[in-house]
Copies of this chain bind each other. A is one copy, B any other.
């Protein structure tokens, strides 16, 4: 059974495609089509189980009503929650979302951008892992509406919505210092060139400095995105025992925290007596761990909402405003729990 198209209906009724199109798009009254005719069309459409072909419509109209979403990994709850909000918000404007995972891999991401553009997405939201800015510059040059989230490129004038990573990290480290911790290990995710990672690192470094603690590079570890499970044990062993002997750990994302907690548990260390813990990214279960894990709660909901709002606005204002880009930095909230209190 073939799908029914506009012209099938038109033929069955002995009218023109144009008329059917008008009626089915609720423009019958506007154009002034006979009520009776309209009814006939609608009835026949239902009878023939007509489903409009949005692809054809999109081709004709030059708009797919689809936005692309590039994130490192949909199976990371931070991004999954963002994806969910983006889906809901975009849905309000009748946009659908095609989301893809880049695995923090710039080459893969470049390929995905191409794929999405070829599919004629109307706009793009990226939590980008790109190292190089040329790819983003190309988007600008090609006038593709896009919004960066979570990670941005300071040199590029474009829309973005990010967390205030610097101050969030600064506050974490200040809190730890105030609690009496002095040797604070930092666990970064690779690639370390990502702006959030860099800014969190700077917040860490400056907080130490401002409190008179000398920066010790042995306290900083990088864990590759693809090998967290394998590398974490080694890194923590180096951090937690002599000669480094960290007394607190600051994990820069939730994947790291989860893996780190596993290793600490395996090593039989107590939190916070043997080592204090803070996580960038908050998860519901952190509150229920023993002891509950102190975490930076990022404003993922606002971030996603704003991103969609900005993107849709830009999509719908073709051409103009091409030089007024929106840049938003949202504060994070530090959820202080027992994992970093000095007993």
Contacts and interface: CB of A to CB of B under 8 A. Distances in A.
Contacts of A80: 74-75, 77, 80
A207 B68 CA distance: 48
Interface stretch (A53-61, A173-181, A190-198): A53-61
Contacts of A73: 84
A101 B91 CA distance: 11
Contact of A120 (B49, B54, B84, B120): B54
Interface residues of A, number: 49
Nearest to A292: B265
A218 interface: no
- Name which of A52, A73, A99, A262 has the most chain B CB atoms within 10 A of its CB: A99
A211 interface: no
- Name which of A1, A74, A100, A289 has the most chain B CB atoms within 10 A of its CB: A74
Contact of A75 (B77, B100, B288): B77
Contacts of A142: 1, 3, 49
A64 B261 CA distance: 44
Given A59-B55, A289-B290, A74 B83 contact: yes
Interface string A77-107: 1001101100110000000111111000000
Interface stretch (A27-35, A153-161, A279-287, A309-317): A279-287
A150 B119 CA distance: 30
Contacts of A143: 1
A51 B114 contact: yes
Contacts of A66: 98, 119
Given A64-B55, A114-B51, A96 B87 contact: no
Given A55-B64, A100-B87, A120-B54, A289 B287 contact: no
A297 interface: no
Given A51-B114, A55-B55, A262 B289 contact: no
A22 interface: no
A132 interface: no
14 contacts: A1-B142, A52-B118, A55-B55, A55-B64, A59-B59, A73-B84, A74-B74, A74-B83, A75-B77, A97-B98, A258-B288, A261-B285, A265-B288, A285-B285
